[in-house]
A = this chain, B = another copy of it.
Amino acid sequence: MRTPFTDLVGVVHPLAGFNRSPAVVVAVSRAGALGVLGATMYTPEQLDAQLTWIEDQLGGRPYGVDLLVPAPTLTGERVQPLESEPSKVPPAHRAFVEDVLDRFGIPPLGDDVVLDRTGRIDLSLETNTDAATVNELLEVVFAHRSALVASALGTPPLEMIDRARRAGVPVAALVGTAEHARRQLAAGVDLLVAQGTEGGGHTGTVATMVLTPEVVELAGSVPVLAAGGIATGRQMAAALALGAAGAWTGSVWLSSFEDPASPVIKDKLISARSTDTTISRTRTGKPARQLRSAWLDEWGRPGAPSPLPMPWQSVLVREAWERIDVAAEAGDERARELESFFVGQVVGTFKGLRPAGEIVHDMVAECEHRLNELARLARPGGP
């Protein structure tokens, strides 16, 4: 299936797979789609090592990198690392979080716990959205041979587009409304990812069925990927029917063996239904779709504080999540109740873990099969 997206990045299948794990990225790209590394959690040195490893594994096949690049970062509006700013976390918020953890009996972190920075998802990634670090990360990306650099958040990163253009790397931007798409097009992006509300992580309110054709119409000759609600070949075929040049997927890779989420989280995801996600600001300060859990229930009770704006909500809850993760992985049942994860409504279709490469093959084969069935439907006389 050749589309403007496959031409742009040089892949065989019109499919991008976003994940924070280099292992998933490699498996997706090896299978002929575009693996995209969620790279904001890494230090520049770590990212350099990971991209080197990915390139060693891929032997020339294309892959992409996704960074959270808020506009102020690149315009120098906030150049200090967050650690050097005075905290904007009110004591009442800290007390609320401590009270939840106390009532659920979540133990403090032991001295022996060494947190693996790359092993846990953290959409907030506060330390890596300061200008200095993001610029260093971008330098690392452009020193490698990424086929795409994507920005998941914020208004057009003009400086990033200029630097990417000089490096010959196409720039993608995730958008949740027609208005966002207009701004990104004006900034000169090479690819738009229209993410519907059913998707996991930071998301808007408009569904993929409505958002995709809206963005496609605005985008003119700029290719658009549909995102949100896509985990199977039928959904990929629907994305193409809506006018997209392919599908951008995230949640489905959580059901791969290669994804590094803990067994507790994977178990919760596999048993979840499509009605078991909700959009909440309680993890990052911005609306993000995630699995319902006791944690979200606590924030919904009368008297609970309102989540803080990004990045302060992440600063507030970061250690709490580390404690919950560690306790849940150690078998603590109450911690398991609190445990959650960023995931879209497709979580209801997860039936078990599969190799990431098999997920690519199954999606592409089902999509091609469905497109051929649809062709018979369109022929006079019926199927």
- Copies of this subunit: 2
Q: Which residues of B contact A207 (CB under 8 A)?
A: 196-198, 207-209, 228-229, 345
Interface residues of A in 290-315 (CB under 8 A from B): none
Interface segment, one of A36-44, A97-105, A143-151, A366-374? A366-374
Question: Counting CB contacts under 8 A, is A92 at the interface?
Answer: no
Chain B nearest CB from A228 CB (Å) reads: 7
Least CB distance from A3 to B in Å reads 7
C-alpha gap A228/B197 in the complex (Å): 14
Within 8 A of B (CB), among A352-372: 368, 370-372
Q: Is the CB of A234 within 8 A of B242?
A: yes
Minimum C-beta distance from A257 to chain B (A) = 23
Interface status of A186 (Cβ within 8 A of chain B): no
Q: Which residues of B contact A79 (CB under 8 A)?
A: none
Q: Which of A191-242 contact B (CB under 8 A)?
A: 196-198, 204-211, 213-214, 228-230, 232, 234-235, 237-242
Min CB distance A199 to B, Å, is: 9
Known contacts A2-B382, A378-B368, A383-B2, A274 near B213 by CB under 8 Å: no
Decide yes or no whether A50 CB sits under 8 A from chain B.
no
Q: Once the chains bind, are B242 and A205 in contact (CB under 8 Å)?
A: no
The distance from the CB of A11 to the nearest CB of chain B, in whole angstroms, is 13
Which B residues lie within 8 Å of A241 (CB)? Answer: 234, 237-238, 240-241, 370-371, 374
A375 in contact (CB, < 8 A): yes
Our pick among B209, B273, B349 for the contact of A198 (Cβ within 8 Å) is B209
Partner of A377, one of B1, B178, B242: B1
Q: Using Cβ atoms and an 8 Å threshold, which residues of chain B touch A213? A: 232, 234-235, 349
Given the complex, which residues of B lie within 8 Å of A177, measured CB to CB? Answer: 274-275
Closest to A230 in B: B209
Choice from B206, B229, B237, B368 contacting A345 with Cβ under 8 Å: B206
Determine whether A10 belongs to the interface, using a CB cutoff of 8 Å to chain B.
no
Beyond A205-B275, A241-B241, whether A374 also contacts B377 by CB under 8 A is no
Shortest Cβ distance from A368 into B: residue: B378
Please tell me if the beta carbons of B214 and A348 are within 8 angstroms of each other in the complex: yes
Which residues of A, 255-275, contact B by the 8 Å Cβ criterion?
Answer: 273-275
In the complex the two chains form, what is the Cα distance from A239 to B213 in whole Å?
Answer: 13
Q: What's the nearest-Cβ distance from chain B to residue A303, in Å?
A: 14
Q: Please state if B229 and A210 are interface contacts (CB–CB under 8 Å).
A: yes
Shortest CB distance A180–B (Å): 10
Interface residues of A in 53-82 (CB under 8 A from B): none
A382 proximity list for chain B (CB < 8 A): 1-3
Residue in B196, B273, B370, B381 whose beta carbon sits within 8 Å of that of A178 in the complex: B273
Q: Give me 16 A-to-B residue pairs in the complex whose CB atoms sit less than 8 angstroms apart, sorted by A's number.
A: A2-B377, A178-B348, A179-B273, A198-B206, A198-B207, A206-B274, A210-B344, A210-B345, A210-B349, A213-B349, A234-B243, A237-B241, A237-B374, A240-B377, A241-B370, A374-B374
Ordered nearest first, which 6 A-B pairs have the shortest CB separation? A2-B382, A209-B229, A375-B375, A371-B378, A198-B207, A237-B241
